[in-house]
Chains A and B, each alone.
Chain A
Amino acid sequence: EPEVTQTPSHQVTQMGQEVILRCVPISNHLYFYWYRQILGQKVEFLVSFYNNEISEKSEIFDDQFSVERPDGSNFTLKIRSTKLEDSAMYFCASTSAARGSYEQYFGPGTRLTVT
């Protein structure tokens, strides 16, 4: 069964460094998302992406964040200058919207630790 994959599973970085989190959505899906979950809290929406552009973003998704689909298969989230409060689990999701189904499928997550 096709699945969303994410790399790395765990990333440790120092404050102020840039990180890139990678995702490979399910191959025939058209809509892509990033969510984050700070330890012990609810999952929060960051950004959605369709047709090579951002379709919606939350207040969390400020100028430090960017997304890209560089090669037709990968979908990346970049944090330019990490802060301690960026430590969280980051989830990528995708959906096809085929046959009226909008179910979002999630990857296993990347645990980002900023020290």
Chain B
Amino acid sequence: GIQVEQSPPDLILQEGANSTLRCNFSDSVNNLQWFHQNPWGQLINLFYIPSGTKQNGRLSATTVATERYSLLYISSSQTTDSGVYFCAVELRSNYQLIWGAGTKLIIKP
């Protein structure tokens, strides 16, 4: 089956720093989503980005579908950005999302 790999597994930064999180996938996908899991365990939708680039405030994401990777950029990090960031892909429309193992981000004040 399709493999979804996220890197780095852990990232510790000072407040104000920028970061890039990567998601590689082993097959063509129909859908790709980025999520932030907060300390209470809730999954927050960040981006629905099967291809192209999107921006939302300090966050942006780029998916290069032909090369099977996606990047999540966080600029000017804040302590509230801490948590686990997951990438999830879908092979066909309206079917299961297959998840990466996540990147655990810790932002120190």
Name A residues whose Cβ lies closer than 8 Å to a Cβ of B: 31, 33, 35, 37, 42-45, 48, 50, 55-56, 58, 89, 91, 93, 95, 97, 101-106, 108-109, 111
Given A50-B94, A102-B94, decide whether A42 and B48 contact each other with a Cβ distance below 8 A: no
Q: Is the CB of A89 within 8 A of B41?
A: yes
On chain B, the residues within 8 Å of A45 by CB distance are 96-98
Which A residues are CB-close (under 8 A) to B42?
108-109
Chain B interface residue number, banded? 20 to 34
Report the separation of the CA atoms of residues A97 and B30 in the bound assembly, to the nearest whole angstrom: 12
Contact B100 A31, beta carbon cutoff 8 Å: no
Which B residues lie at the A interface, using CB under 8 A? 30-31, 33, 35, 41-43, 45, 48, 86, 88, 90, 93-102
Give complex CA distance A48, B102 in Å: 23
B86 to A31, Cβ gap below 8 A?
A: no
* Assembly CA distance A48 to B90 (angstroms): 13
What's the minimum C-beta distance from A63 to chain B, rounded to whole angstroms? 20
